[in-house]
A and B are shown apart, each in its own frame.
Chain A
Amino acid sequence: MSTAYTRDEMMTVAAARQLKDGDVCFVGIGKPSAACVLASMIHAPGLVLIYESGTVGTRPRVLPLSIGDGELAETADVVVPLPEIFTHYLQGGRIDVGFLGAAQIDRFGNLNTTVVGPYEKPVTRLPGAGGAPEIITHARDIFVIMHQSKRGFVDALDFRTSAGHLGGGGERRRKGYPGKGPSVVVTDIGLLRPDPDSDELVLVALFEGRTAEEAQAATGWPLRVADKLEVIAAPTDEELSALRSLMARTDAAHKAPIRIKLKQVQG
């Protein structure tokens, strides 16, 4: 009997399990970052974490709040100028996995992080593209992590910021994208993967205690369910305690007061 855990914890642990030791991973901020750092602390010590701020091979002891916290630079193998991350690392084809979140996703794994409502007169202005359009094009594989709800899993995106499988049916492959596009979407209910022919996201796995009906009710299109649904094991004690101590360290670090000692002009 394992310890009680939250849906958020299950989601992060399940996302971490997707990462393989030795992968070179381009990490988005927030949930992707928690999953990647957790993976590197447990089963994937050789995971290479790259953040778009230019920190390569970083091993943060606490989760960064921003994508450019000092922790990422201090624990990196190297810090390079940001343009180089996009040219040499991403466009140059050096990234195995890009790990992204989004505000909206459609059935083919296309992502919106730009606006809800019309672009010129938005109902909700979201932060925008960041590096996602380049990451999703160039990384060999893409993992997405998002809470599953009708607001986020929509029939039609308000804006396509980042290209997943486009209109499906192999369109992405035909257009010659270097990377294969989203291969898994980790939610707080289970896992979705694209159908190999149609590219449409299909519910393939559930967390313990969750149901396919629940997933369908939280999806804005008629969600297909795989014939054989895998059940994902609850977090192990090792995973939970690693995640909780990471979150506790992070919380303490982010609350630590900053005091500035002003430097005077020399001489």
Chain B
Amino acid sequence: MPAFLSLADAIGRHVEDGMCVALEGFTHLIPFAAGHEIIRQGRKRLHLVRMTPDLIYDQMIGMGVADRLTFSWGGNPGVGSLHRLRDATERGWPNELAIFEHSHGEMAAAFAAGAAGLPHGLMKGPMDTDLPQHQEGRVASVVCPFTGQPLKAVRAVNPDVTILHAQKADRRGNVLIEGISGAVRDAAFAARAVLVTVEEIVDDLAAPMNALVLPHFVVTAISHVPGGAYPSYAQGCYGRDNSFYVGWDAVARERETFLAWMQEHCISKPDHRAHLESLGVLA
């Protein structure tokens, strides 16, 4: 049974400097509150893993918590660049960032293999791209032992910790995820520890029979953090703040405006509720 912890305790106990950490959720249910708490606690040298780094990794990378990034698409969706990610890769600010780049299909295969306890996932090709020149030790060609068909092997990804946001947990610690789920199920099963922030803790999940539920025995800790995905969203609770995503471009473009924003809205705030209050988005 998972522990029910404050977010500060969950991060404090389970996320250590130098760990491989995946905050997953594909556009939807991105665990922003947890990312902010990692920044507040000053973690360093993390190996961050996420298919789409999104604004949360832009913030974490810009605040110097990471020195490695595994990803497959690093932009501000529909807006443009992640300026902090670019500053780190192009100019090494605030520190050098090693990047381990994949396609979405490869990342999905790597998480799925990690979840299944396999050393690698398999994909069908061919894909004549320049990516493999930069994927040493992570992608290899193999031959199907039955058909002789050439296949691509992608090394499994097994994070030390996967962190997710979800709509609901029940009191035993089962977690219900509704809406776009991305690779969260595989990222959770692939990890050694799973931390989940939830909008709501309920007596009964009332989950439909085929719903996406993470059973309590794969979850390490649950924290009640309503609004924890903002400015991403939680289907059925609140929508994606697209104007925040658009506005982030100007905030993150320069180091000074970025640092000032992080100080004002994240570092100086004790928790996520205070963060949301400072942005004026609470009803």
Chain A positions within 8 Å of B, measured between CB atoms, are 29-30, 52-55, 64-70, 72-74, 79, 81-83, 86-87, 90-91, 114, 119, 121-134, 137-138, 159-163, 166, 175-178, 253-267
Contact = CB atoms under 8 A, between A and B. Distances in A.
Contacts of A87: 108-109
Given A159-B130, A161-B129, A163-B127, A66 B230 contact: no
A262 B200 CA distance: 9
A256 B102 CA distance: 34
B129 A162 contact: yes
B208 interface: no
A127 B74 contact: yes
Interface string B166-200: 00000000000001111101100000000000011
Contacts of B200: 263, 265-266
Contacts of B212: 81
B85 interface: yes
B73 A258 contact: no
Contacts of B137: none
A258 B226 contact: no
Given A128-B72, A177-B126, A82 B238 contact: no
Instruction: Please list the 10 inter-chain residue pairs (A to B) with the smallest Cβ-Cβ separation, ordered nearest first.
Output: A68-B27, A127-B75, A66-B77, A83-B108, A130-B73, A65-B78, A134-B105, A262-B226, A131-B104, A129-B103
B201 A133 contact: no
A83 B273 CA distance: 33
Nearest to A66: B77
Contacts of B179: 70, 73, 79
A260 B104 contact: no
B242 interface: yes
B104 A134 contact: yes
Given A53-B28, A65-B245, 7 more contacts: A54-B180, A64-B78, A68-B180, A70-B240, A125-B89, A258-B230, A260-B227
Using C-beta atoms within 8 Å of the partner chain, give the interface range for chain B.
35 or more
Contacts of A161: 129-131
Nearest to B273: A262
B283 interface: yes
B281 interface: yes
A65 B73 contact: no
Nearest to A266: B202
Interface string B132-164: 011000000000000000000000000000000
B103 A134 contact: yes
A82 B108 contact: yes
Given A258-B241, A263-B226, A160 B182 contact: no
Contacts of A177: 126
A165 B89 CA distance: 30
10 contacts: A53-B28, A66-B27, A68-B182, A86-B105, A114-B101, A125-B85, A128-B72, A257-B243, A258-B244, A262-B276
B77 A129 contact: no
Contacts of B246: 65, 254
A262 B130 CA distance: 46
Contacts of A160: 128-130
B235 interface: yes
